[in-house]
Amino acid sequence: MLYELRIYHIHPGKMQVIQDRFKNHVIDLFMKHGMKVTLFWEDFDETYNRLYYIVEHANMELRNLNYDRFRNDPEWIELRRVTELDGPLVAKQESIYMKDVSFFENKNK
């Protein structure tokens, strides 16, 4: 399994807008394109203004294919256009790719 930690540096004043976009639309769109979001976080110290989430992928090839399909989905294109009429929500996006380690089994699964 490939775990992608996505870190969004959010423009000031846009955190609620991006959270609403995820809650009301994007998570379902991700699922439509085979991407499973498992966890979300935001900074405890709100001055950092970052949103974090984990997406699970079978492998990097499938991750790339699914994101390509998502980015080209007319529903996503229109949603992004409408939610960014007052400017972009994300100033910077980072991805960190992780995999399980052999010595730890999560007992909460």
pLDDT, average across residues 37-51: 95
Distance in angstroms (rounded) separating the CA atoms of residues 95 and 64: 13
106 assigned to some structural domain: no
32 assigned to some structural domain: yes
- Domain holding 43, by residue range, is 2-98
Percent of the chain clearing pLDDT 70 (strictly above): 96
Which CATH number characterizes residue 93's domain? 3.30.70.100
104 assigned to some structural domain: no
Per-residue pLDDT reduced to its tens digit, 47-63: 999 999 999 999 999 99
pTM for this structure? 0.89
109 assigned to some structural domain: no
107 assigned to some structural domain: no
19 assigned to some structural domain: yes
108 assigned to some structural domain: no
Sign of dihedral through CA atoms 13, 86, 33, 92? negative
25 assigned to some structural domain: yes
Domains in the chain, number: 1
